[in-house]
Chains A and B, each alone.
Chain A
Amino acid sequence: MKRHLLSAADLSRDDAELVLRTAEELRSLADRPIKKLPALRGRTVVNLFFEDSTRTRISFEAAAKRLSADVINFAAKGSSLSKGESLKDTALTLEAMGADAIVVRHAASGAPHRLATAGWTGSSVINAGDGTHEHPTQALLDAFTMWRHLGALDGRRVAIVGDVLHSRVARSNALLLRTLGAEVTLVAPPTLLPVGVDGWNVETSYDVDSVLPKADVVMMLRVQGERMNASYFPTVREYSRRYGLDARRMAQLQDHTIVMHPGPMVRGMEITADVADSSRSVIVEQVTNGVAVRMAVLYLLLGGSEPAGTTERDAA
């Protein structure tokens, strides 16, 4: 594994499979009485969030704590535009605190990349979502969830439906799923597919109904209603009608097909409540898997000295 996790493209197939196997090993821990492992004792993990995301922060925090790391939560104010707190000054502060890993969420695409390469810090940097670029641990937890339900992903068909243009989840998933051998189809109105998507080595479609019957996984992306103000689509109603996942569309799916959503959902926009709460939906499980996958990432990047599965008692 590389020293940083900035993009899903940083992961070779071997790396990705190692993360998934490690996550599987760690996930079993959730069922044990002792939930804490000593693997990262004495190491410091900083959650550096320039953008609010309670769910992602809590997931990383839980992951680090279960590995016995010291956790510092740092909620920085100021977006890239307001020039509030500078990324550089914050990085220098964290460096002085001796952070071993910095988990960073930022509204600016490439901010984690800058943090890792500008010479401001020697810590490992984990991208917890940057602008409209990537969210690699989300892709890992999605792949982990698929893998638990479907086994090996080679040849599996994954439909990713929604606002691909603005989605860091879609970018990371497209990269990682291809690495793992899955077939990916991005489904969106043409306005919400990035220019140059032809070069992504994935299929694209404007027609969700032609894609759903063949899919093994349907991943719905969050779509912000405000996008209609920038003319990405005419109205919320038209978007939902053409691209939303409702019970009628769900009925076209194969029996084994699972429905995913990275959250937070806009119920009634891209997904209806009955679909989100149906037995096909693995949305809640994605959250549980998120902790295991992030434990695996932290463990592997920080090179924990103990085997991942060793409990307190075993180690003593």
Chain B
Amino acid sequence: MSTDRTLIRGARPLGGDAADVLLRGGVIAEVRAGLDAEGATVVDADGLVLLPGLVDLHTHLREPGREDAETVETGTRAAALGGFTAVHAMANTDPVADTAGVVEQVWRLGQSAGHCDVRPVGAVTIGLAGQQLAELGAMADSAAAVRVFSDDGRCVSDAVLMRRALEYVKAFDGVVAQHAQEPRLTEGAQMNEGELSGRLGLRGWPAVAEEAIIARDCLLTAHVGSRLHVCHVSTAGSVEIIRWAKSKGWNVTAEVTPHHLLLTDDLAATYDPLYKVNPPLRTHADVEAVRAGLADGTIDVVATDHAPHPHEDKDCEWAAAAFGMLGLETALSVVQHTMVDAGLLTWADVADRMSRTPARIGRVSEHGRPIAAGEPANLVLYDPSASRVVEPGESASLSRNNPYTGLELPGRVVHTFLRGTPTVHEGKPA
């Protein structure tokens, strides 16, 4: 199939009125109804929603180091199947992405895989050890042009170190993405602290451990005039604190994961580690609060925290299991189910929360753009009327720790285009 010229026929840009969209030379050439095919490859998109390619601020691709769980190639293929055209690869690999060399390696692996753009996240501290700043400037200046820095998986809990990191990244317009988890309050913690953790005898993970760090970091970022991004907000209290920080005009952004939009802590009663995740699944009230926060813009973006783990790390008792769940291939469906179908977000809002704003936070200039002539042809066509029962074996990921296993979710990614080239065609890798 020719990839030079593609005519998308009858799609609904941002869920609006149907139009034809011509892609040529990797960019959008024209958008209007009744375009002539003129020899272009025609994609029949009747009834499909057209969105800018999704951008994930929080993906664990596991390479280098845990290629048994995921590789850049498999993870980005899963990303494309989920409608993503750019992902931010978290730094907690082995070796840690704390040098220009490692971030460039990950960036090049992404380029050669070609399923979506890979923007490496740089570690804030050497080895994620929380002791000494990594060479943030070298990573920013590298070919990978890192702008997002995070010790994700660990919290930069030292207040001085966090302050310095926030200050330092101002030199290259970076942002510190904090995994907000007060370590002393969460030693050995296994699940949300509440009545259920007490009954199940699983060490509780109090909401305050997240909220205290977020509050502190908001104050720090205001004090030094920097940019803070809060990873995977999971509690109602966190939403309130961020809402307050934003009301002050502080430069704070936040993300919520699809699983925190849908799943609740009562799943821990199964003791099935499929539901073990960091931060933990919270209560129904927390789910309501993060949905409301995402709807009103307090929470800026949806980020997957796609966290693949090999089977044996989940096929064991809860305490021995790894934290984390897959998310790339189900994110858009979960957002449709929890937000769009619930009347909380329009498709234009989804484009904002899953493409435009994450691209802006990550300073990814070629993504999250309007669907208009002259813009890069990073696009996804999505069928909201489809539905499916989630079958973990069907994933492109190397891992199977899918918490939606057996659930019926709406929607299906039909086509994904990266700079005009299909990466997904009819729901299959192109």
Contact = CB atoms under 8 A, between A and B. Distances in A.
Contacts of A272: none
Interface in A117-155: 117-118, 130-134
A225 interface: no
B42 to A, nearest CB: 48
B65 interface: no
A198 B341 CA distance: 36
B343 interface: no
Interface string A233-262: 000000000000000000000000000000
B270 A195 contact: no
A195 B317 contact: no
A112 B212 CA distance: 35
A57 interface: no
Interface string B187-204: 000100111111111111
Contacts of A132: 201, 203
Nearest to A134: B201
Of B197, B204, B315, which is in contact with the most chain A CB atoms at under 10 Å from its CB? B315
A62 interface: no
A86 B316 contact: yes
A168 interface: yes
A111 interface: yes
Interface string A67-110: 00000000000001101001110000000000000000011111
B319 interface: yes
A88 B316 contact: yes
Given A108-B320, A110-B271, A196 B201 contact: no
Contact of A195 (B201, B204, B272, B315): B204
Given A195-B193, A195-B204, A114 B198 contact: no
Contact of A168 (B195, B201, B317): B201
Given A88-B315, A88-B316, A110-B317, A130 B201 contact: yes
B315 A118 contact: yes
B200 A195 contact: no
Contact of B317 (A114, A165, A171): A114
A230 B317 CA distance: 25
B270 A117 contact: yes
A80 B320 contact: yes
Interface residues of B, number: 24
Contacts of B270: 113, 117
Interface residues of A, number: 31
Interface string B281-312: 00000000000000000000000000000001
Nearest to B201: A133
Of B190, B202, B206, B319, which is in contact with the most chain A CB atoms at under 10 Å from its CB? B319
A107 B202 CA distance: 11
Contacts of B196: 196
B318 interface: yes
Contacts, number: 86
B188 to A, nearest CB: 9
Interface in B189-239: 190, 193-204, 206
Contacts of A114: 271-272, 316-318
Interface string B314-329: 0111111000000000
Contacts of B318: 108-111, 114
Contacts of B312: 86
A132 B198 CA distance: 9
Contact of B197 (A106, A118, A196): A196
Contacts of A171: 199, 201
Nearest to A175: B199
A70 B272 CA distance: 31
B320 A83 contact: yes
Contacts of A83: 320
Contact of A80 (B194, B197, B271, B319): B319
A200 B199 contact: yes
A109 B201 contact: yes
A199 B196 CA distance: 9
A195 B320 contact: no
A234 to B, nearest CB: 18
Given A110-B200, A171-B201, A196 B195 contact: yes
Contacts of B319: 80-81, 107-110, 131
A194 interface: yes
A109 B270 CA distance: 11
Nearest to A133: B201
A86 B316 CA distance: 7
Contacts of B198: 165, 194-197, 200
A131 B198 CA distance: 12
Given A131-B201, A133-B201, A81 B195 contact: no
A195 B195 contact: yes
Contacts of A195: 193-195, 197-198, 204, 206
A171 B198 CA distance: 9
Of A83, A171, A195, A198, which is in contact with the most chain B CB atoms at under 10 Å from its CB? A195
Q: Which 3 A-B pairs have the closest CB atoms?
A: A196-B195, A133-B201, A194-B198
30 contacts: A81-B320, A87-B320, A88-B315, A88-B316, A107-B319, A108-B318, A108-B319, A109-B200, A109-B201, A109-B271, A109-B318, A110-B201, A111-B317, A114-B272, A114-B316, A117-B270, A117-B272, A118-B272, A131-B201, A131-B202, A131-B319, A132-B203, A168-B201, A195-B197, A195-B198, A196-B195, A197-B195, A198-B195, A199-B195, A200-B195
Given A109-B271, A131-B201, 17 more contacts: A83-B320, A86-B312, A87-B317, A87-B320, A108-B320, A110-B200, A110-B271, A113-B270, A114-B317, A114-B318, A165-B198, A171-B201, A194-B204, A195-B204, A196-B196, A200-B198, A200-B199
